[in-house]
Amino acid sequence: MHKLNTLIAGSTGYIGIQLVKLLIKHKNIKIKYLCGNSSIGKNVSYYDKYLKSKKLPKIIRFNKKLLKEIDIIFTALPNGEAQQISKNLLKKNTLIDLSADFRLKKASDYLKWYKQKHKAANNIKKSIYALPEIVSDKVKKFNIIGCPGCYPTSILLALIPLIKKKAIKLNNIIIDSKSGYSGAGRSVHEKYKNKNLYESLSAYGVGFHRHNSEINQELNNNSNSKINFSFTPHLSPMFKGILSTIYIDLKLNFSIKKIHNILKKFYKNDKFVKIKSINSLLSTNEVINTNNCYISVCKTAHKNKIIVLSTIDNLIKGGAGQAIQNMNIKFDFNIDEGLK
């Protein structure tokens, strides 16, 4: 069987390592190059002992000449670097980016939220914001695939079907999300060294977290009315996992049972989104090490208010797994290849 040559740029971060772990099991993929900056010459197993017995190339510096030998480039790099790589793509290359570089559809929004000018603004229109359950086969038409952020993945999968069906009020959606510290990258230990990271819960980015821009863009893309929401992320004393708790006001004539049925019908043919029974209390433990998103609809003391719970593994469904899911769609592989 012919395998596609693949390069992973940013192969030693938490997301990069997770990508390597999944791709070595993918029957259609050959990992040709692993690239990094501070890790050049090292084996990737230096960062994860699980990979010690695997036959993998040593880490090298990225060079655009490598693109001649490559079919797929995964970029798990600091924001801005995938933009530069995108300017050197050949016709045969597909770029799947896990940073924020191709999530926002306006260069001005990128400048506003990421405080840097977009280096490849002409490529934005050639890219797709690829939440696979929402955009489906449209992914096939693009050679630049922007993967959603981890928080937005958990939030958008829960909200978009309800917005499309005009089932909920849009003027006061409250989103409270808690993530394992791996979501902040390897530098989290230094950045939060005074926060007692392993034994405390910390709110951060209140009102101005960068993922606000992404959530706002996609919610409004799926609505004819302006949407107002509040999003507060928290770092939890666990390595990975996200649990989003979303407070929603229902429109008239929509019951919790109708909301549950809307979600079940919307995702009935999707492999990775699972709608649990009404009032199921979700735990991140249910989805860790999977590409699944579990969603639950819960009653409150008020008839017209509900709480929707959504949980994912931030490094898999919110990162490497979703990137592979998009690749599988793009190249007509089995949707769960490498993700079983």
The backbone region for 300, taken as left when phi is positive above 0, alpha when psi lies in -120 to 50, beta otherwise, is beta
The three-state secondary structure class of 234 is strand
Strand ranges inside 158-272, DSSP E: 173-180, 202-203, 229-236, 242-249
Write down the catalytic residue from 35, 147, 150, 293. Answer: 150
Are residues 278 and 260 in contact, defined by beta-carbon separation less than 8 angstroms? yes
Which residues make Cβ contacts (< 8 Å) with residue 151, sequence separation at least 6? 177, 179, 183, 209, 211, 215, 231, 233, 242, 244, 318
Q: What is the dihedral of CA 202, 240, 275, 218, to 10 degrees?
A: 70
Residue 35 falls in the annotated catalytic set: no
Cα 334 to Cα 178, 204, 273, 321, distances in angstroms: 31, 38, 16, 13
Residue 278 CA to residue 295 CA, distance in Å, equals 10
The contacts of residue 268 (CB under 8 Å, 6+ apart) are: none
Cα separation of the two ends of the chain: 20
Spatial CA neighbour of 37 closest among 19, 60, 14, 58:
60
Among residues 171, 177, 176, 162, the alpha carbon closest in space to that of 256 is found at 162
Q: Which phi and psi angles does 127 have, rounded to 5°?
A: -115, 165
Query: Rounded to whole angstroms, how far apart are CA atoms 318 and 293?
Result: 9
Catalytic site residues? 150
